[in-house]
Amino acid sequence: MNQTKKKRKKRIKKSTKKQIKLSLYIALAAILIIFIQAFITSESDKFSSKLSDAFQETVITLNFTATDYSQVGIISPNLKLSKIQEGYPKIDTKYDEIETYSGFHLSYNEKHEQANWVAYILTKRKVRNDKVDRTNNFRCDKNISSTSAELSDYKASGYDRGHLAPAADMHWSKKSMSESFLMSNMSPQEEAFNRGIWKELEGQIRDFAVENKRIYVITGPVFKQNKNPIGDNKVTVPGYYYKAVLDISPPAYKSIAFLLKNEKSDKDLESFAMSIDQLEEFSGIDFFYYVSDSTINQIEANFKISDWNF
């Protein structure tokens, strides 16, 4: 009797292995077909978006579970974030003028003469598509209803015109590169901060985009412990800066946030990392507020430093 049970278990185990292998082969074949179709029918960044959507549908069709693959994060078959406006944060202020540009969107704060936040989607293709040189054409943003800060506000102030949406993230487009130098995208940063730890973080975010294929980035100042304002327009010098990052490559999603003081630092970037929930508590900003999928709260809370490759 025991011998019969053993044989039966062996047969079941063998059959299960065959089924798993068959499922994997079907999945790989389906993904390959989808990849070819997406490549043929798409162009530029639409290809990346279509491929992500197609892969997501494949995963759903094959009924994958969290134990079926090695990708880290929270499973969410319904979370789709392909447009910048779908990931806007919510802020509790009357100073919230939204402007949209080809590579990023921003919320301008007239009181502080800079953005509350800038948001954009960064992909592996965009990072690798290094075809446009830095322009350095800093200029006033006339799209802002009251006009933005001026170059003269920063002159002899001792502060750098610190990019929120980095120019190095916009090399893929001549227009986006130029728009990144609008003064609405600038914030007064300590020189050692802007050219040190902040620059290092910007590079790390690009590495995240390459590794994770597609990420959503929100960057901005936190108006706490501010320093004396600069220029005729009284531009606020923020005490802190943040970045909130969401890996939006399906089917598993993960997040990470950073909060840094506007000062020189020799610490490792990991020491500034936290969950988006923690950043929300400090900043008062509700990130990814308009994402309708119910798993976003879990994604924002589920932070693991080991999920990100530093």
Return the active site residues: 163
Decide: 116 and 91 in contact? Cβ < 8 Å.
Answer: yes
Distance CA 91, CA 107 (A): 10
Distance CA 52, CA 122 (A): 14
